[in-house]
Amino acid sequence: MSRHRTRARRAAWLAASVAALACSSATSGAPREESHAAPTVPERLADSTFWRMMTEYSEPWGVFRSENLVSNETSLQWPIPELRRRVAPGGVYVGVAPDQNFTYIAALRPAIAFIVDIRHQNAMQHLMYKALLETSRNRAEFLAALFSRAPLAGVDSSSTAEQLFTALERQPRDSARYRTNLHAMLDRLTRVHRFALSDSERVSLGCVYGAFYAEGPDLTYSYTTECRNPGAYGNRFGGVGGGFGRGGFRMPTYRTMLTGADSAGTNWSYLGSERAFRAVKAMEERNLIVPLTGDFAGETALRSIGAWARAHDATVTTFYVSNVEQYLFQQDDDARRFYANVLAMPIDSTSMFVRSFAGGRWVSDSTLAQRTQRPGRSLQLVSPMMKTLHLFQSGELASWGQVLGASH
């Protein structure tokens, strides 16, 4: 099929869908944004419900070119002030990848969050975080447990993230604590929550926790565990302990990511304050951060989230997509499938995409290129979800570069 016919078919399909969305919004009475105030999202999910959603909403495991245990998006916090102005608390948050989602969740306070990643190991990493967050009373206890260290000394609830990591450095890693903590995590997940983890899932969780033990707070995006995903990409992004990315720049460490700040110097991370930490901890304790294994262009994960949100009269307020769209535009019809999945979600004029791309000069939009701080650093961008759908429908978004150009 020619590119012209493909674009015409896509435009006709999405035009009808967007029109249906507009009609639905126009006839629903109150504006959709008012639904954020009183959704029927449960205050807590039962353990059995959480596990059922994890399994039934997920798709077959996929692979990615890296394990991505830690984010490399250095400007992660920059859009938070704007998002807090535009996005009302409550509603549904959707994200991808590991714990950078916690920073957005702590700042935006959704009623429930779904983390969707094609790597099943990412779901196991989130279960690791769940167990640790539930059993840690504060940030200091959490960091000590995450990195298998003795309790931190000389810090309290008013300590900055930087002070916490400085205290962490004084404590050597402890293999006995690693084994004890890993056993306690698995015990909490399988005996307390009664999640039916398979043997391979237990091994995967142990590999993730082992990476934090082995590398400590210097863990980077490029680290590769013994359980690294198989596939065509192999060891392309560095071997065990590798900390350098494409172009030879040093990847940011876990510590760097959690002690970072927005452009005004405010640290919004979930370890930036006890208040932020407690917000994420409370959601984990109530089973309201649900990790799923899924493909953004698949037929199950995102569609299930949309159906669940509609059933609970909730709006998807924020969708942190990172740079997943970059890959979708390279894979046949996957971009169209993804936007069809988004269209099936209950969204409104305030619903926002959050995107990221690595620094570079390949983007055709000159103003966008100028906003890149320097090679090796990321740039975080936002865009109204409805705007993206309309531009795709009109044929103006036919590539990842054009998506970036339509964001700000």
pLDDT digits (tens, 9 = 90+) for 267-319: 999 999 999 999 999 999 999 999 999 999 999 999 999 999 999 999 999 99
> What is the Cα–Cα distance from 129 to 123, expressed in whole angstroms?
10
Reported as a single tens digit per residue, the pLDDT across 138-167 is 999 999 999 999 999 999 999 999 999 999
| Helix extents (H) in 290-384 | 301-311, 324-328, 334-343, 366-370
What is the pLDDT at residue 227? Answer: 77
- How many CB atoms neighbour CB 160 within 10 A? 14
| Sign of the four-CA dihedral 261, 367, 108, 217 | negative
> What is the Cα–Cα distance from 162 to 256, expressed in whole angstroms?
9
Domain that holds residue 163: 3-405
* Count of domains forming the chain: 1
| Sign of the four-CA dihedral 391, 394, 400, 401 | negative
What is the pLDDT at residue 232? Answer: 32
pLDDT confidence of 67, banded at 50, 70, 90?
confident
Residue 28 has pLDDT above 80, yes or no: no
Reported as a single tens digit per residue, the pLDDT across 324-363 is 999 999 999 999 999 999 999 999 999 999 999 876 443 4
> What is the Cα–Cα distance from 20 to 315, expressed in whole angstroms?
17
What is the pLDDT at residue 249? Answer: 54
What is the pLDDT at residue 364? Answer: 37
Q: How far is CA 104 from CA 161, 269, 270, 331, 349, in A?
A: 16, 8, 8, 28, 19
Interval 47-71 mean pLDDT:
91
- Report residue 179 as tokens: 């084994």
Place of tokens 């996929």: 62
> What is the Cα–Cα distance from 114 to 96, expressed in whole angstroms?
8
pLDDT confidence of 230, banded at 50, 70, 90?
very low
Strands (E) in 1-124, as ranges, are: 92-95, 112-117
Among the ranges 48-57, 226-235, 372-381, which has the highest mean pLDDT value? 48-57
Query: Helices 3-26 and 385-393: crossing angle, nearest 10°?
Result: 140
Reported as a single tens digit per residue, the pLDDT across 111-129 is 999 999 999 999 999 999 9
